[in-house]
Structure 1
C-alpha cells in the first residue's frame, strides 16, 4: 500500500514486510552509519535503482537504432551507414557524444566517444 505524505507531492509512504533478520541487519547498518533505518533503506534502494539519466536514455536510443544495421551489415560501409543513423539522433540533442564503428574480436561493434 502506498500513501502520499501530507504536504509533499514527491514523498510517499510504503509499508514493506521483511524478515526479522533483515530488519536487524538494517538496524545494525543504520547504527553504524549514523543514519535512521529509513535513511539506510532509502540509501540502499537509491543504489539499487538509480534515477535514469536523460542523456543515457538518448545515447541508448541511438545505439538501439544503429545496432541492428551494424549486425546485419555485410561491409564496413553498410555498418557506417547504420552508425550515421544513430548519430543523426544524437545530433538533435545537446549531448556531446557520437557513435563510432569499432571491432570486438572478429565482429563489428558500436562504441561512443565525446564529440
Structure 2
C-alpha cells in the first residue's frame, strides 16, 4: 500500500513540476493553483509513505518517478528532445526504482 502511495506522490511531483513550468514564473493563475495542490498532495504522500518505508528509499523512488515522468512529459509536449543516451539513462533510472522495491 505504501509503495502505491509513494508512486502516486511521484506522479504528482511530475504534475507540479510541469505546472510550475506552465505558470511562467507564477504569472498564470491556473497552473499556479495546480502547482500548489499537486505539491501539497505530493509532499503529503511522500511523508505518509515514509512512516513505513526508509527515508532514503522513499525519497529516491519519489524523485526517480517524478524525474522520469517530467522528462517524458517534456518529450510528449515537444519541449525536450529524446536521444538514445536519454532513453538509456531513463531506463536505468526506472530500473533502479524497481530494484529498490525488490530489495526492500
For the pair shown, which has the larger CA radius of gyration, 1 or 2?
Answer: 1
TM-score by length of 1: 0.26
> Larger % of helix: which?
2
> Larger % of strand: which?
1
Higher relative contact order (CA 8 A, sep 6+): 2
